[in-house]
Structure 1
Amino acid sequence: MTRILKVGLVGWGAIGRVVGTALAQGEIEGAELTSIVDNRPLGEAAPAPQVTFEEAIDGCDLIVEAAGQGVVREWGERVLSSGTDLLVASTGALTDDELAKRLLAAGPGRVYFTGGAVGGLDLLQAVRQLGPLDEVRLTTTKLPSTLEQPWMDEELLARMRSATGPVEVMAGTARDVPVKFPKSTNVAASVALAVGDLDAVRVQVVADPGATRTRHVVEASGTHGAYRFEVAHAPDPGNPATSQVVPYAVLRSLAALAGRTGQIL
């Protein structure tokens, strides 16, 4: 008899609703939604029981995080030490070296992450085996309103709000940027995890009032070759800070973990 992967979902927002609905409708063979964790009452519309985090851990094989970096920081180790696996959508949390080390050392549960809104990560991981990349750059372009943060001063906010073209909001490394944009730059962390070096990935965040699509451009080069990946996603209508494709990347990861065959992993 085929074992069914019992999934607990944390977060019923733009990502969680799509993932949870697909699971509840049986779209992921070998996986079922057993519970939902959210700090808001979901009512009868929820396709699975709304439970506490502790109850979700006790009743499932895999926790899917779809609620932000804070969940990974607060609950990641507890999930893994209980023996439950963890699939992380908010990869920006893993740019915290100490947290990443603790998660990797925790167990017996296993931690996985999804590439989310960017492609080419499998190729970067393969190239990395040949030797270090000399240069890795990521340029992320989004609507100004999706990039506004509490730490920004009035001058920067005014430039973003009055911009008629692209404006650089921040430049730094994949270690620096996800901390400053916890809900909108997980791609930087995903690229860095594939490359294996947070400080090697240079990141530029650009606000563009004409950005009808969220754009990510990854450029990497080394002695073994040069690589360029560009994606332009429609933003999620309910949460423009998230690309519409992200929950489907989570579902693809879930399908792989549930053991569905006949796909490229």
Structure 2
Amino acid sequence: MTAPALRTGLIGWGAIGRVVGRALADGAVPGAALVCVVDNRPLGADVPAPRCTVEQALERCDLLVEAAGQGLVREWGERVLESGTDLLIASTGALADEDLAKRLLDAGPGRLHATGGALGGLDLLQAVCAMGPLDEVRLTTTKLPATLEQPWMGEELRTRLWTATGPVEVMTGTARDVPERFPRSTNVAASVALAVGDPGAVRVTVVADPAARQTSHVVEAHGPHGSYRFEVRHVPDPGNPATSGVVPYAVLRSLGALTGRTGQIL
């Protein structure tokens, strides 16, 4: 007997949500059916599912996919999970807030899921940390200056960003504080922190480079069981250069795992 399709709602019809929503509507994830889209902005005529509010989506869906930013996770995450609806988040940077992460993990009966997004190797980091803590974990993220400008930046830093002729170090900190300062650009930092299990143990450096035609993430980890280095370079999404074009496909892969698609490496 075939199991009923997972009734899936999508929150956010931006660069990530459009790809995910159209793929779901085209049947790209067997076992998942797109039943609604949540977004306050004008959506156009090509949205492949009815538009609704978050409250309405909770009544209609088994799973909500967040593709709307960290603010949505903070505002609605607990309520979604407490309603019994599962939640898959793309904006993992929200989980750098340890108090929020704890509240979401303690909430239920809905289950919280997170996608690895633009970075691989997280499963290996989790496996290594199960053997014992790492001595050092570093992440260096390099992006175009325009994708990193933030309201909190002073005039001096803004000038350095816009006049840079080479790489400029914008911020160095931990995976606890960097995602808060760059809410649309450093979800990878939180993903590494989740894999390691300690945001304070991950040192993050954010670099602006006017020549960075590809977004770069370099993870370096060292410990008693070995040394590890991962580097990925992604073409930015043309509709939203702050994110990589691969992110919606990482979300779709996570959806495939949740619906029990067989024959894939988990």
Q: Say yes or no: TM over 0.5.
A: yes
| Backbone CA RMSD of aligned residues | 0.6
1:61-76 superposed matches below 5 A: 61-76=62-77
TM-score when normalising by structure 2: 0.99
Q: Is the deviation greater in 64-73 or in 38-47?
A: 38-47
Aligned match of 1:257: 258
Unpaired runs of 5+ residues, structure 2, are none
Q: What amino acid is the match of 1:161? A: W
Unmatched runs of 5 consecutive residues or more in structure 1: none
1:94 alignment partner in structure 2: 95
Deviations, residues 56-87 of structure 1 (Å, cap 9, x unaligned):
11101000000000000000001000100000
Name the aligned partner's letter for residue 169 of structure 1. Answer: V
Distance 1:46 1:222 in 2: 48
List, as ranges, runs of 4+ consecutive aligned residues in structure 1 with deviation greater than 3 Å.
none
1:178 corresponds to which letter in structure 2?
P
What's the offset of the Cα at 1:192? 0.3
Q: For the residues of structure 2 that align with 1:49 and 1:42, how far apart are their CA atoms? A: 11
Give the Cα separation in 1 of the matches to 2:4 and 2:108: 21
Structure 1 residues 175-194: aligned runs within 5 Å? 175-194=176-195
One-letter amino acid of the counterpart of residue 244, structure 2: S
Whole-Å Cα distance in 2 between the matches of residues 214 and 42 of structure 1? Answer: 28
1:7 matched residue in structure 2: 8
Identity %: 75
SS of 1:248's equivalent?
helix
Matched pairs, number: 265
How far 1:2 sits from its partner (Å)?
2.0
Asked whether 1:141 is paired with 2:142, we answer yes
SS of residue in 2 equivalent to 1:45: coil
The aligned counterpart of 2:84 is 83
Q: Deviations over 1:229-248 (max 9, x none)?
A: 00000000010000000000
Q: How does 1:115-126 map to 2 (within 5 A)?
A: 115-126=116-127
- 1:162 equivalent to 2:163? Answer yes
- 1:197 matched residue in structure 2: 198
| AA in 2 matched with 1:11 | G
Tell me the distance in 2 between the aligned counterparts of 1:103 and 1:65. Answer: 14
